[in-house]
Amino acid sequence: MTNYQTVAPDETQLRDGTIKLHGPEAFAGMRRAGRLAAENLDALAGRVVPGVTTQALDDFVREFTLDNGAVPATLGYRGYAHSCCISINHVVCHGIPSERTLKDGDIVNIDVTPLLDGWHGDSSRMFLVGDVPLKARRLVDVTYECLMLGVGQAKPGARLGDIGAAIQRHAEANRYGVVREFCGHGVGRLFHDAPEVVHAAKAGTGPEMVPGMFFTIEPMINLGKSPVKLLEDGWTAVTRDRSLSAQFEHTVGITEDGCEVFTLSPKGLDKPPY
Ligand code: MF3
Ligand code: CO
Ligand code: CO
């Protein structure tokens, strides 16, 4: 059973399993938070280069976020001590910024979540470091296509499973594997809320999408069919066989006739090359 709850923009919201339905004021808040996430990723474009440390990129994300009147939602979230996640090559998600330097040929996901005036804008993009082999670039391209095919299914009356079905179909047509261990999520005043948005599913299943729903779509697609394992640090998720993994993420809101993508790049830099 799916429970929806219409919420006022300033109402305290609980992680009680209900799917929140928001009004125009909340859309305005999410538009601003989402835009800031996108602008932060735009500003990273020229900085993800060989030799830079992922900690330096995290410092940039923190400063950019604070300078724009927001707070990185990941900072202090369940003990996480950084302003973004940076996931290189075989890291599937939640890579922790460190003194490691990027090298020519790396593919890198940077995932930012500014919390602006109480609203979360959650988005990630892939970045190509220097010369990236065709095989890796293809994975990145197809992963972006998967995200946008999922976004294309986000409309009132459709089911959340339609999103996963579109993503899975495209990934598997390219002989890639869809990560099952992590999913998209409801978002808004809360960072991670109901519903779960899975990236592999049967069409016509799952909760119906209703105007006013906010959630992320964030497919992780692997070059192989390898299982995912968690490293000792409790955060870093990797492919067990070290095969490459890619991810893109948008935050969307369901409207009367489709969806609004809150995290689109104002500069059109939604995917590489930037
Ligand atoms: N931004 C991530 C997501 O897309 C969550 C990161 S939580 C952290 O849901 F603690 F790992 F940073
Ligand atoms: Co997310
Ligand atoms: Co994210």
Ligand 1 atom at shortest distance from the alpha carbon of 73: 12
Band of pLDDT at residue 157, cut at 50, 70 and 90:
very high
Q: How far is the CA of 1 from the centre of ligand 2 (A)?
A: 24
Tell me what pLDDT residue 178 has: 98
Q: How far is the CA of 167 from the centre of ligand 2 (A)?
A: 16
**Alpha carbon distance 190, 192 (integer Å):** 6
Tell me what pLDDT residue 1 has: 79
Pocket, ligand 1, Cβ cutoff 6 A: 74, 77-78, 80, 85, 94, 111, 113, 122, 216, 218, 235, 249
The tens digit of pLDDT for each residue in 208-217 reads 999 999 999 9
Tell me what pLDDT residue 128 has: 98
Tell me what pLDDT residue 245 has: 98
pLDDT over 90 at 26, yes or no? yes
Length of the chain: 274
User: pTM, whole model, 2 decimals?
Assistant: 0.98
Nearest CA to ligand 1 atom 12: 74
The tens digit of pLDDT for each residue in 202-245 reads 999 999 999 999 999 999 999 989 899 999 999 999 999 999 99
Band of pLDDT at residue 252, cut at 50, 70 and 90:
very high
How would you label 148-181 residue by residue, b for 16+ Cβ within 10 Å and e otherwise?
bbbbebbbbebbbbbbbbbbbebbeebebbbbee
Mutate to test the pocket of ligand 1, among 40, 65, 71, 74 (most ligand atoms within 8 A of CB): 74
Tell me what pLDDT residue 61 has: 99
pLDDT over 90 at 129, yes or no? yes
Sign of CA dihedral 161, 164, 170, 176: negative
Nearest CA to ligand 1 atom 11: 94
Whose tokens are 């996901």? That residue is: 109
